[in-house]
Structure 1
Amino acid sequence: MTVASRPTPRLLTAGQLFLDLVFADLATAPRLGEEHWTPAFGWGPGGIANYAIAAARLGVDTVLCADAGTDALSGLVRERLADEGIADGIREVSDWALPVTAAMNYDGDRALVTGGRPAAPMASLLQNAPVTPVAALHIDDSVSEWVRERAAAGTKVFADIGWDADEDWDLAALDVLDGCHAFLPNEAEARAYTRADDARAAARALAERVPLAVVTRGGHGVIAVDAATGTEVEIGAVAIDFVDATGAGDVFGGALAAAELTTWTLRERVEFATLVAAITVSRPGGAAAAPRLDELLPWLDAHPAAADPARFAFLRAALHDGASPFAAPPRPTPSSHRTRI
């Protein structure tokens, strides 16, 4: 029996992996001694897996590099990732268990509690990672050299640093962005690092460090600045009935990294990622609720008040007759004729 070879990954994702347990649609935060029930519950791989799942569901061949344990929950997460068609670049660590995060959604946002210990720095994890056109990383100091080498080879690295738990917001922490193509902080992170008064000023300041600075603003939309062309894009949110914010920024990042593989304009790429994230937060479960490519137009048709129809005309054109904007370019075939000299 002939076994079909696996497609070559076009997107590499790497970072901290979790098991997420998501409790959505809570009226209030639980108080001591109380038990709250909600039917809006979901679970699945979290952390960097949010990027990978979002991209894979859009039809992009994706590999995920992360640490996992040999515990039962690690096995469960790996099975779910395999079900999503994501290539397994996971390194097993025998004396470490996968962290578990409980996300509780109420008052338009979510609170997180994580049990476990963080994974080791990623440098050794990425030594044998496949070369891809685009990569999305939860970046740390250990991968700076790797990022510069991949950037020199043509890989566009989308970086997420995450929340500063110490809240020092030292600008020196952004030195790890050297070589990265894009930085994707939320507004609170962007303003804290840059000491800017608003999201636009923060995005402009960050564009001095990376070619593409993208600041997400939750229900207020997104601001993106292309440093090379000076293009600035500000778009509003897609109108949805909010259910669950878990992983929304990561899903946005995964969709935006995937969109880098298209010929779309910056505005269209940001609009696309915003739509994918909006659909996700309208359903419980974090990235487990991320839409597939063939769901996007039916969702827009079923929610005519979500956005002006003209806003996503480019997407309708791109998806006509089942086409995919992420299709890999055809490989050149060897010529059957020999060139005479």
Structure 2
Amino acid sequence: MQTAPRTTADATAGELAGVLVVGQLFTDVVFGDLPGAPALGHEVWTSSFGAGPGGIANFALASARLGVRTALAAAVGEDAFSSMTRASLAAEGVDLTHLVTVPGWSLPVTASLGYDDDRALVTGGTPAPLGSDELLPDGPPAAAVALVHLEEARTRWIGRAASQGTRVFADVGWDPAERWDQTLLDQLDECHAFLPNHLEAMAYTGRDSAREAARALAERVPLSVVTSGSAGVVAVDASTGEEVERPPLRVRAVDATGAGDVFGAALAVAGSQPAWSLLQRIDFACLVAGVTVSRPGGASGAPRLDELADWLGAHPEAAEPGRYHFVLDALHDQGDDGTTPFS
């Protein structure tokens, strides 16, 4: 195992990160807008196709495109998919200083098949042979926010990040064994927010609705947010008792791959706007995720910050009138020196 050498493509290396992303990388190959599940012996074509970094990179792509300095800690191999994924992230300006190269290991590849407003996934390969504490042996770099998929065992770096003022936004992956081990939730005592989807949230809490699951999780973490795809999102602020339920954008979902991660990154980034209410932060995340699912390629279709105003102008039917005036105001007020609303 060796630390990946720093290159000139690591455009933001050495700068204080606004967002630190830690976890498992994949290469995603995404087939969207399918008429249904592929049948054995048949071939299906779709023009809704994309390929790019996946897994924890979904967070990094979304936050970097929103104009936030983003650093990523993950394992890569020496294979062609690792090289392509690294190059794609570097082109987005993501700081790759904390990538670790693992000789003999290849980056897993996930094929995503999108139909019926959802997606099915098939992954080839093996998980990274080192945990996130091994990616950050000297501890996490200073960052305003960290985004992470929780591992089975508690990691040391999350507590260290929280102790230095980093707000940790945590998500979970699907449990293939469907054991839904409750000890995983014990790690939430070091996190600021938890962002599962409704199936995961209900499975871990034993509740029968996204709302009740979000309320149960709010007993463990300051901000509980449960996403439900085309059914919208529910959020509970444990410190105030405030609950927010919001619908998604009214868009045709071409590809839902990575949409939850894009939503989570946008929500975490929106926290740097102190004037925005919880409802506005949730709405902003719904906007960014909604634009993403209307495009092919999964998280690679996440919008850039300077696209949002034009997109809203071109799609007035996507949201009720006035829902996004606060976003347009923030974009209008960004500085002439190139700073963004989230700088």
Does structure 2 conserve the Cα–Cα contact (< 8 Å) formed by 1:122 and 1:143? no
Q: Which residue is equivalent to 2:104? A: 95
- Specify which of 52, 55, 68 is matched with residue 60 of structure 2: 52
Q: Report the counterpart of residue 320 of structure 1 in structure 2.
A: 332
1:270-317 deviations in Å (ceiling 9; x for gaps): 110110000000000011100000111111110111112311111111
Contact residue 123 and residue 142 of structure 1 kept, 8 A: no
Aligned-pair Cα RMSD in Å:
1.5
Matching residue's letter, 1:229: T
Structure 2 SS opposite 1:12: strand
Q: Any residues of structure 2 matched to 1:278-297 within 5 Å, and which?
A: 278-297=290-309
SS in 2 for 1:319: helix
Once the two structures are overlaid, the 10-residue window that deviates more, 258-267 or 106-115, is 258-267
Q: Indicate if the aligned counterparts of 1:158 and 1:257 stay in contact, CA closer than 8 A.
A: yes
Q: Which amino acid aligns with 2:300?
A: A
Q: Name the residue aligned to 2:126.
A: 117
Separation in 1 of the partners of 2:173 and 2:12?
36
Higher mean displacement: 220-229 or 313-322: 313-322
292-301 vs 125-134, which moves further: 125-134
Give the C-alpha shift of residue 5 in structure 1: 7.4
- Alpha-carbon displacement from aligned partner over 1:194-248 (angstroms, at most 9, x marks no partner): 1112111110100111100000010111111111111111111110011000000
Deviations 1:30-77 (A, max 9, x none): 111111111111000000000000000000000011000011110110
Output aligned runs, 1:216-235, within 5 Å: 216-235=227-246
In 2: Cα distance, 1:143 partner to 1:193 partner: 17
Kindly state the Cα deviation for residue 108 of structure 1 after the two structures are TM-superposed.
1.6
Which residue, out of 117, 121, 139, partners 2:150?
A: 139
Equivalent pair of 1:122/1:142 in contact (CA under 8 Å): no
TM-score for the superposition, normalised by structure 2: 0.92
The correspondence for 2:181, drawn from 165, 170, 176, is: 170
Q: Which residue pairs with 1:127 in the alignment?
A: 137
State the alpha-carbon separation in 2 of the partners of residues 64 and 5 from structure 1.
11
Match of 1:159, SS?
A: strand
SS of alignment partner, residue 114 of structure 2: strand
For 1:86 and 1:266, locate their aligned partners in 2 and report how far apart those are by CA, in whole Å.
27
Aligned to 2:5: none
2:85 matched residue in structure 1: 77
Contact 2:60-2:70 at 8 Å conserved across structures? yes
Question: What SS class does the counterpart of residue 51 from structure 2 fall into?
Answer: strand
* TM-score, normalised via structure 1 length: 0.92
- Which runs of 5 or more structure 1 residues have no equivalent in the other structure? 328-341
Q: Deviations over 1:60-105 (max 9, x none)?
A: 0000110000111101100000000100021000021000000011
Contact kept? 2:198, 2:210, Cα under 8 Å: yes
User: What secondary structure, in the 3-state scheme, does the structure 2 residue paired with 1:311 have?
Assistant: coil
Question: Larger radius of gyration, structure 1 or 2?
Answer: 1
Q: Provide Cα deviations, 1:98-133, integer angstroms capped at 9, x if missing partner.
A: 000000111221111000001122111122331111
